[in-house]
Structure 1
Amino acid sequence: MRKRVIERQARPSPAEAEGWLDLERIARAELTSEDPQHPFENTLAPPGRDGWRAEVPGPQTIRLLFDEPQRIQRIHLVFEEHELNRTQEFVVRWSTSGGHTYREIVRQQYNFSPPTTEREEEELQTELNGLTALEIEIIPDIDRGDARASLKELRLA
């Protein structure tokens, strides 16, 4: 019998197969707050998870620092609110300097009015070359209510 040992090729995850980056593998996250019951990793998991939620009310920042510069063409964000009427603002910024300076991609406000409007889904088309850091600032209630920031899904391609 002739045989040889071959190297096993890793199969891409379903997200990678669809073109989404494996953020857990290529980036480090920095967060201003995190509810232990709703960790940031939930935003990267398949749909059906609760996503990330801040432990304390007020504005929050999520920062992704990449191991190597990236080329990003799509940013997919999903926000959900099932309890409070509120106006949320979010800002997405990017950096090619490891987070020393940032350029704004989008700043947007959205009104949640459960149960009729509970979900905001954003698919941002962009052309970011040499991205080393991505920052998402969430102001959960621009009227300074007692809301906590949350993010259901985050995907980059």
Structure 2
Amino acid sequence: MARVEVSSEEPEHPVEAALLPGTGWRASRPGPQTIRLVFNGPQHIRRIRLRFVADAHTRTQEFVLRWVNASSEPREIVRQQWNFSGSTEEVEDYRVDLPGVIELELVVIPDISGGSAHASLAEMRVA
């Protein structure tokens, strides 16, 4: 149904572990990371669920979710920052109406201050 492209991943935490039930994805290096779903054919997407689980240190994470159809440049669905300070989990559940999607892209900036945090994603569900 889709090809998955990822900027980096730890062998023990591949991106498939976030797209299917598993332990989640984790980047192999610090800094901004991208997960891109490239669909075999146009999809009508109505729901996107993201779940991030934080490690022990305090940080502000930002993510950007974009979509592309056959006749457009990437369009932003949402750009959001989250402070992991006392909270250890962020869950976002978006109801959308996106016809003809050929690509869905998630960019995660794990620490907007430029620290050494590694991006991770516990779960990504698309329907």
The structure 1 segments of at least 4 consecutive aligned residues displaced by more than 3 Å after TM superposition are: none
Which digits, 9 at most, give the CA deviation of each residue in 1:105-131, with x for residues without a partner?
A: 000000012xx3000000011100000
Question: 1 or 2 for the larger relative contact order (CA 8 Å, sep ≥6)?
Answer: 2
Task: Identify the structure with the greater helix proportion.
Answer: 1
Answering whether residue 27 of structure 2 is matched by residue 54 of structure 1, we say: yes
Task: Identify the structure with the greater strand proportion.
Answer: 2
Overall identity of the aligned pairs, in %: 53
Answering whether residue 74 of structure 2 is matched by residue 102 of structure 1, we say: yes
Structure 1: give runs of 5+ residues left out of the alignment: 1-25
TM-score (norm 1): 0.78
Between 79-88 and 56-65, report the one with greater CA deviation.
Answer: 79-88
TM-score (norm 2): 0.96
The whole-number CA distance in structure 1 between the counterparts of 2:36 and 2:70 is 13
Residue 95 of structure 2, aligned match among 125, 143, 153: 125
Equivalent in the alignment of 1:5: none
Rg larger for? 1
Shift of 1:138: 0.4
Equivalent in the alignment of 1:155: 125
Structure 2: give runs of 5+ residues left out of the alignment: none
Answering whether residue 20 of structure 2 is matched by residue 45 of structure 1, we say: yes
How large is the RMSD of aligned CA atoms in angstroms?
1.3
Equivalent in the alignment of 1:139: 109
